[in-house]
Amino acid sequence: MFVSSQYHFSAFEQMVLSSGTAKRLLLACLLGGVVGVEREWRHKASGLRTNMLICMACAFFTLLSAVLAGDGNPNKGQVASNIVQGIGFLGAGLILHTRNRVLGLTSAASVFAVASIGMACGAGLYLEAILATMIVLLSLQLIGMLEGKLGWKHFPMLYEVRGTDQLKMYVAILSVLDRMSIRLNVLDKDSVAELERITFVVNTDRKMHQSVLANLRAADAADEVIAFRDEEEE
């Protein structure tokens, strides 16, 4: 099998390359881990290890792209250019589309951003990589809090209505939702002895949630109404 001579590095050349490589890869692991901690804290699929590995791998591919191209090849980004496509496939796997919701968009976007941070580390753009990490954390934490306080953010809420007469419960739920122009989307319904339980989801904001909850609890057909945040919420 023929192997190009440009991929043969002497011991000295490997030592020179390794001295700069270690710093870039370690910084990529650190910055990817910082974003990963935030994702882990929110119990997302792309957690600490995932983000560290993605960031480190992107940094290494970026570094290898220039090394393998050699000094005489002007196209030093040939390997690195395929990172975007690979991360696109990985991000698509994090997105879940259900009947009325699209979940995982923020996780997919964060993975895409972490990949760019890793590429910046691999290219030796340390300050730019650190700045990008700070912007990602700011977007994931403070911007989300600001959206919630201003009432801009819509989030899925799960409502569990319990009672003894399922037909009357359905009528009461539909009456409340129809007045607010909300479509009923039942996730689950079951019976435990004489207790009937209906669980449905509403994509709402804080003000709408308080109104829905108050009206459901005021209905005579419902013995108990419980609301809780969707665990898969971004």
Query: How large is the average pLDDT for residues 171-191?
Result: 86
pLDDT for residue 12: 45
Given pLDDT bands bounded at 50, 70 and 90, which one contains residue 180?
confident
Q: Which CATH number fits domain 155-229: 3.30.428.10, 3.30.70.260, 3.10.180.10, 1.10.630.10?
A: 3.30.70.260
Given pLDDT bands bounded at 50, 70 and 90, which one contains residue 4?
very low
Assigned token pair, 4: 């190009």
Contact of 117 with 138, CB cutoff 8 Å: no
* DSSP symbol at 46: S
Residue 45 has pLDDT above 80, yes or no: no
Assigned token pair, 84: 């975007």
Residue 1 has pLDDT above 80, yes or no: no
pLDDT for residue 98: 58
Given pLDDT bands bounded at 50, 70 and 90, which one contains residue 56?
very high
Given pLDDT bands bounded at 50, 70 and 90, which one contains residue 59?
very high
Given its phi and psi angles, is residue 96 left (phi above 0), alpha (psi -120 to 50 degrees) or beta? Answer: beta
Percentage with pLDDT > 70 across the chain:
79
Residue 148 has pLDDT above 80, yes or no: no
Contact of 83 with 61, CB cutoff 8 Å: yes
CA-to-CA distance for 119 and 143, rounded, in angstroms?
25
Domain boundaries, the chain: 9-150, 155-229
Contact of 208 with 155, CB cutoff 8 Å: no
